[in-house]
Amino acid sequence: MIQRDIIQRMIHQISAVLARMIGKNAEEQLIILEEYIQQHNGLSSEELDKISDEKLLHYLTEEMQLNPYQIESIAGVMNARGDIFIADDKNVKAIIDFRRAILLLDYVDTATAIYSFDRVDLIATIKNKLKQLQ
């Protein structure tokens, strides 16, 4: 029950962030995502971008001690950033964020005992975006 409440709250928060992004340019959208990730996870996008893919999960789980649901929200931010980068013709950055989002979502799948159709759909959607970019 508690896990479901956490998930619902995080979905509501991400939905509110996405709603704020409507009609904004790429730079403004990235600022909104940055505010979200700092407020809810104590991280900055710059900080995340500096960490290699190999060390990302260790950093988030061990050093930052984030729970799987926080990690899932970071994956959502990375997916949203990837979409912004595509719209701004920064496909290399989009590919990096999409790959990292999949890495994080795969971790969440194995770390939680809750099967999520939404998560599975998101992973498939991101993989399709990657195929189109490559």
Q: For residue range 77-117, list pLDDT tens digits in order.
A: 999 999 999 999 999 999 999 999 999 999 999 998 788 88
- Please, what is the average pLDDT of the chain? 87
pLDDT given for residue 61 in this prediction = 95
Q: Token pair for residue 99?
A: 């790959």
The pTM of this model reads 0.84
- pLDDT interval class at 6 (50, 70, 90): low
Report pLDDT digits (tens) over 10-28.
666 666 666 677 777 888 8
| Angle at alpha carbon of residue 103, lines to 51 and 42, rounded to 5° | 50
pLDDT at 11: 67
Domains belonging to the chain, first-starting first, are 2-133 (1.25.40)
Which residue from 109, 110, 111, 48 is spatially nearest to 74, judged by alpha carbons? 48
Count of beta carbons in the 10 Å neighbourhood of residue 86 = 19
Residue type, 95: I
Q: How far apart are CA 87 and CA 73, in angstroms?
A: 21
Residue 2's pLDDT is what? Answer: 54
